Amino acid sequence: MAGFPEMITSLARAGFAAIACMAPAACSHVPVSSMLTLSRLDLATTDLSRFRAAIRVPDSVVARGTRMVVEMVVEGRPPEKNDFALEALSSPEELEKLAAHGRAGERIAAYRLPASAVAMFEDMRHRVGVAKAEKRKGSLSIRLEPDFCYRDTLPQGKLLFSSYLAAAETKGYVPLLVDFDAFSQKEYAEKLKLMPKC
């Protein structure tokens, strides 16, 4: 169900930089080692064709898909937001890269940017670079929005999930949120009650 806790990563440098969590509760679930690794990732220069995202969820839940929302804020201009569906990856080679993050009773789904999204993202990066050259303040951020359904019964109490990101600079998948309880935030807990059965 769209609207699960959003994993926000704002990345770049010199006014277009930082790694931010969507809430203090989520930040506490980001490993320190991941923050250090992600600090080397720059959305202004990274190879978008190698950008990957992954979600680990309990077997009782299925990740039906994931959307990425890209937001650009530039001083003196209206905010701009684009979102698109990510492509699921199922090749053994790709899933092998996530093997170390596997856990009994849970499953992992991996995604990449489709070609159309790469082109859109490249255009936004170019315009962010122009704004930076003009000494304007701003930010470029990404937010992942998983869409889930449940297998047998609607989850109650807690729904723990983990998320991962990979790029050319990370040399593999890096944990973003680890065992984050989707029910821990009131606004998302209400939406979880409407999660459909698979």
Predicted confidence band of residue 27 (pLDDT cuts 50, 70, 90) = low
- For the stretch 44-84, pLDDT in tens is 788 989 989 898 999 999 888 888 888 888 888 888 888 88
**Domain-located, residue 120:** yes
State the pLDDT at residue 58.
93
Total domains in the chain come to 1
**Domain-located, residue 121:** yes
**Domain-located, residue 18:** yes
Which structural domain range is residue 23 located in? Answer: 7-145+159-192
- Residue with more model confidence, 12 or 31: 31
Rounded CA-CA distance 24/104 in Å is 28
Residue 150 CA from chain centroid, whole number: 21
The sign of the dihedral angle between the CA atoms of 127, 132, 134, 138 is positive
Residue 5 has pLDDT above 60, yes or no: no
Helix, strand, coil percent values for the chain (each to nearest 5) = 25, 35, 40
Question: pTM of the entire structure?
Answer: 0.79
Q: Out of 10-19, 21-30, 36-45, 160-169, which region has the weakest mean confidence (pLDDT)?
A: 10-19
**Domain-located, residue 153:** no
User: Number of helices (H) and strands (E), helices first, in the chain?
Assistant: 5, 10
Q: Out of 19-23, 50-54, 55-59, 100-104, which region has the weakest mean confidence (pLDDT)?
A: 19-23
**Domain-located, residue 2:** no
- For the stretch 150-185, pLDDT in tens is 999 888 888 888 888 898 888 889 988 888 888 887
State phi, psi for 88 to the nearest 5 degrees. -70, 145
Tokens of 29: 């679930």
**Domain-located, residue 152:** no
